[in-house]
Structure 1
Amino acid sequence: MSALPLRRLSRGTGTVLAWSGAAVYPVVLFLTFSHGRTGFQQLEIPLSTGLTVLVLSLLRRRALVAHVILLLAWILALLALPVGTVGGLLVLLPGVSAGYITATRPRKVSVLVAVTTFLLQAAAVTAFLQADEVLLMTVLLGAAVAFMAGNSIRTRRGHAEAMREQATAQAVSAERLRIARELHDMVAHSIGIIAIQAGVGGRVIDTQPAEARNALQAIEATSRDTLFGLRRMLTALRKDDPGAAPLGPAPGLADLDRLAEAARDAGVAVDVRTAGEPRPLPPDVDLSAYRIVQEAVTNVVRHAGTDRCRVTVGYGDGDLAVEIEDDGRGGVVGTGYGLVGMRERVALLCGEFAAGPRPGGGFRVAARIPAPAAAA
């Protein structure tokens, strides 16, 4: 039998045993406190304590069921031994589970649980302890504190989640604007070439037909190349651009050696490898692949805690594969906004993206982008 079925069998057996213990918990607790009228037995106190911890641990799996078991068990305990200490535990322990439900369940469910719990606690205290107004107010205060604590945790968690979503959306928007600026530079460069070639062709069309033909071919190649990139990206990009467009030519995979040198100066040796036959790429693919490598290497420098990484660029038939691996302590996990930007770039080019810890340690970023050969 393989390790995976064994682990599943072990987890299933553990779950059955845990819920079996929770099922007998009310009976054990009742017997423990029944004997408490004449003195606790040595075995029953550790057993009931252990089962209490077990039931509390089951809140993460089935919070409502575990809460019902706790409430029923301590009502029976108060019936067996009607003293103030047991009444206090009746308020405290189900209060913990009620607070957990308030923190993790919808408000409608949490309010119903809080009200029902208080009514049952108050009824049990009144029936078995002959409660006065002070005791009932204590029960009410305990229920209110549990509800407010759980509600506060849920509110903070919701706020934190909203802030994460907002930050992720801002990261995506910023990356799109950055891509828009780069695409603007690419288009402006291409239109400039077209304008120059058109001017040359217009001046020599009568005297040098061959030169005019060359100009027209250059215009055609540049136009096809630019339209190819625009068709895949422009509809997915925002039009607003609050920042100025950067000057200079857009970088590409030909600049990886310079990127590796910069990373080496920062303390990380980058091993750049190439698979397949390098070929000219569409400008948007070339730029995006470079940005993915740049961001991934930056993450290695900042977060991985290692002094080396590997960059592999694979030229396939009709696609480009980029892979960045390191042997550090895991790189960026969770909602790293650099990863959000990389994923956005690949999605705009209809590619595939994956990032996560490697089985043997370290972190891996991989992208595969459709990349037909650029027009000659």
Structure 2
Amino acid sequence: MSPRIRGLLAFRAWLQARPSAADALLAAGLLLVGLPQLFLSDVRVTGYEQMFTEPDALGGALVAAVTLALTWRRRAPLAVLLFIVAGGAVLAALRYPPSVPDVVAFLVAVYSVAAHRGLAQSALGGLLAFVYFVVMLVALPVPLSPMVFLTDCALVIGVWMLGRNLRLRRAYFAELESRAARLERARGTDARAARIEERSRIARELHDVVAHHVSVMTVQAGAARRIIDRDADSARDAMSTIEEVGRTALSEMRRIVGVLRTERDMERAGGELAPQPGLGDLGELLDHVRETGLSVQLWIEGEARTPSPGVDVAAFRLIQEALTNTLKHAGAQARAWVRLYYTEDHLTVEIEDDGPGTATIMAGDEARPGHGLVGMYERVALYGGELRIGPRVGGGFGVRARFPLEA
């Protein structure tokens, strides 16, 4: 880029940052062009020497004052228009002929009121300017044809409409920019909310996986410790179950944490994201629980329907968490029942046990609710379901959740 172009761009930026200076330069340019023409012209050449006063220093000063008022046309456009109208009336009263600077200053003032003020002030200024202009044309000692009169009036109206349209256009673009900024802020807020929700989801998943599998491993380890001296084969089976459950827990934890990895990380690790568990994996879950010694029975009523993926995972995790609580609080000697009720629009899940762990669970919940119970409520509520947790009639504990099949 040449130095001349850079200088012009810098000067333009300087003027944009200082609008009053740009307006002052506009007024000075009008005077520089118009004043010499005003004093060099001879009214006697026009044949109206008896109608106009010969331009003099007073007339030049008035024209200069009217034109230089444009310096404040953006700060106070209505006041500038009133000043120019008053100056024009004084020039007409002293019978000075119209000149380029004061006529152009009047039109610029009309444009400024329309472009830089609201509808009320711009309409008032436009009406005042139009009335003043019509009066000046009528009072002008020079005869005007109807076509010239209409053309001059249309010029004033056109200048006002031009300023008004430019103001509306600027307001439209400003609204677009404001809307884009709001959308950007909203997108950032949504992204933060999504991250928070994803962290909560992963925390629930990790809690369910760790709590269930560690509970199973703890029960199996205790059983192996008690029978290792008198039944080594059963103890070895229990240790094998612990090993299998531990590997399953590690596999599920890697899958959950793997959601946070990028595709490149997954390619380097050579792994794939496994699907989330669902009610189709309920048989495997119950087999793991039965290996701890807990008797679990499953009933399915109604025509089995495929729930939405989120409800499928939520129902599975609810059953997993409830059976884990049964193992921890009721013990492996208790019995548990899992029931699935399918209707046309809903899925009801019930998990009950006959163990003595009700008091322990409720006391802990009242003192400081654990992550398991809180996670149950959060998970069910997330998919628009209803959850009831409490003691069971006849002893034991029960969990009942009702999910819509389409979350």
**Shared fold by TM > 0.5?**
no
- TM-score where L is the length of structure 2: 0.39
- TM-score where L is the length of structure 1: 0.42
Larger radius of gyration: 2
RCO higher in 1 or 2 (8 Å CA, sep ≥ 6)?
1
